[in-house]
Amino acid sequence: MSGSGTDRRVDLDGDTVGRDLVALVLTVVELLRQLMERQALRRVDSGELSAEQIERIGNTLMLLEQRMDELRDSFGLLPEDLNLDLGPLGSLLPRD
């Protein structure tokens, strides 16, 4: 098939592949973080948590968000770098 115009080569740069892999992993972690946050808010709104549990969940979610910011910064990623475009379905993560 060489020379027929269908021969496509992928140029893999080690730095780019590593950064893209980190972005993908952080995207999954961010999606899970947001889902956990929404679930926690539902539980708080339902009144099934004690004040101590609410505070512990709030602190945990704040620390997780802070750590995500640190990881993004250390790899030179912006929040929008973690949002995958799903075509007609829109973006993976809600846009703030």
Taking only the tens place, the pLDDT of each residue in 25-46 is: 998 988 898 899 999 999 999 9
**Higher pLDDT, residue 34 or 86:** 34
Q: Does residue 27 belong to any structural domain of this protein?
A: yes
Per the domain annotation, does 95 fall within a domain?
no
Q: Is residue 46 left, alpha or beta, with left meaning phi > 0 and alpha meaning psi from -120 to 50?
A: alpha
CB of 61 closer than 8 Å to CB of 29: no
Answer yes or no: is 33 within a domain: yes
Range of the domain at 41: 14-76
Q: In the chain, how many domains are there?
A: 1
Q: What is the mean pLDDT of the chain?
A: 82
- Tell me if 56 is assigned to some domain: yes
What residues pair up with 42 in beta bridges, in sequence order?
Answer: none
* Residue 6 within any structural domain of the chain: no
Q: Is residue 94 part of a domain?
A: no
Domain assignment present for 91: no
SS3 of the chain: helix, strand, coil, percent, to 5: 65, 0, 30
Judged by DSSP in three states, 85 sits in strand
Rounded to two decimals, the pTM is 0.69
Residue 62 lies in a domain: yes
Say whether pLDDT at 3 is over 60.
Answer: no
